[in-house]
Structure 1
Amino acid sequence: MNAVKLVAIVLIAAGTLGLAYGSFSYTKNTDAVKLGPVEFTLKEKETVDIPVWASIGAIVAGAGLLLFAGKKN
């Protein structure tokens, strides 16, 4: 399998996951206060929304790569 086909499969998989889940979240640790040896940290939960157009675009781009990668000049 060459690199172009691998990238196409990754794009299709990422687009499908983006459509299935729609968003993902992660926890970000930030230093809130440092008072000498005492340190308080704050954990913030961030959510990132994945646009539907980006997911569909990734699927279309991956499918296009798969279709045209097999054709040789």
Structure 2
Amino acid sequence: MTIARIVGILLIAAGVAGLVMGSFSYTQDTEAVKLGPLELSVKQEKTVPVPVWASVGAIVVGVGLLLVGGKKG
């Protein structure tokens, strides 16, 4: 299996995941106050939307790599 095929498969999987999930969330720790031995931190959950055009684009490029990457010249 060539590198182009592996990258194509990964792009297709990422594109499908982006279409199915729609967004992903992560938690960010920020240091709010540090006063001597006391330290207060804040955890914020952030959500990042995945654009549909990016997911579809990844699928299209992945399929293209699968089709072209398999040809031997």
TM-score, normalised to structure 2's length? 0.97
Output aligned runs, 1:1-73, within 5 Å. 1-73=1-73
Identity of aligned residues (%): 60
Contiguous gaps of at least 5 residues in structure 1: none
Structure 1 residue 71, shift from structure 2 partner: 1.3
Distance 2:33 2:14 in 1: 38
Give the match's secondary structure for 2:71. coil
In 1, Cα distance between the equivalents of 2:41 and 2:30? 6
Amino acid at match of 1:20: V
In 2, Cα distance between equivalents of 1:22 and 1:54: 11
Q: CA deviation at 1:69?
A: 0.8
Offset at residue 64 of structure 1 (A): 0.3
Q: Deviations over 1:4-56 (max 9, x none)?
A: 11100000000000000000001000000000000000000100000000000
- The unaligned stretches of length 5 or more in structure 2 are none
Paired residue type of 2:12: I
Counterpart CA distance in 2 for 1:7 and 1:71 is 15
Give the Cα–Cα distance (whole angstroms) in 1 for the partners of residues 70 and 33 of structure 2. Answer: 57
